[in-house]
Amino acid sequence: LDSQVLQEPGDRSHWCVVAYWEEKTRVGRLYSVQEPSLDIFYDLPQGNGFCLGQLNSDNKSQLVQKVRSKIGYGIQLTKEVDGVWVYNRSSYPIFIKSATLDNPDSRTLLVHKVFPGFSIKAFDYEKAYSLQRPNDHEFMQQPWTGFTVQISFVKGWGQCYTRQFISSCPCWLEVIFNNQ
């Protein structure tokens, strides 16, 4: 992880970090989140939060440029008692993949489409902890993807889409939850 994620003594601990990606390239640094709510938007001067439009992108792909222009008000991530909610503030759908949204016995996680103006509980801490296998030696040796949520703007991926992997999506976020 990026050095920005490491907290100085006395800092309030983050509950998640957010990485912004364009296709297979991470753009900018990891954004560490301490506040209970975070707005992630493209290029709107009002409000506080993670402004994707301020990140320097070398990507000249027309599709990336087109999708970037559609992010608009983007999303709001909110940490609630029951988990983390994502509210789609954009004018276009967003797509979310999370281990806690699906049947734990499923081999492939589904990608959920969230229409503008709607929200979804994208992450459930209790369910995530129950999905861990603490006695599993292999689990202890590597980070667990159950504490990560992937969110794509405008374009979906997975079994129902032409893009099989999120790294083929023009603009997407990786939200990594602090499991401490």
Name the residue type at position 179.
N
pLDDT at 122: 94
- State the pairing for strand pair 50-51/37-41: parallel
pLDDT at 134: 52
pLDDT at 46: 62
Taking the chain (180 residues) in runs of 10, the rounded mean pLDDT of each run is 42 84 94 94 78 85 93 95 94 94 72 96 87 52 66 94 94 87
Sign of CA dihedral 44, 113, 85, 150: negative
The two three-digit tokens of residue 99, written as one number: 């281990």
What is the pTM assigned to this prediction?
0.84
From the number of C-beta atoms within 10 Å of its C-beta (0-12, 13-18, 19+), residue 54 rates as exposed
pLDDT at 47: 65
Domains, the chain, in order of start with CATH, read: 16-131+145-177 (2.60.200.10)
pLDDT at 18: 95
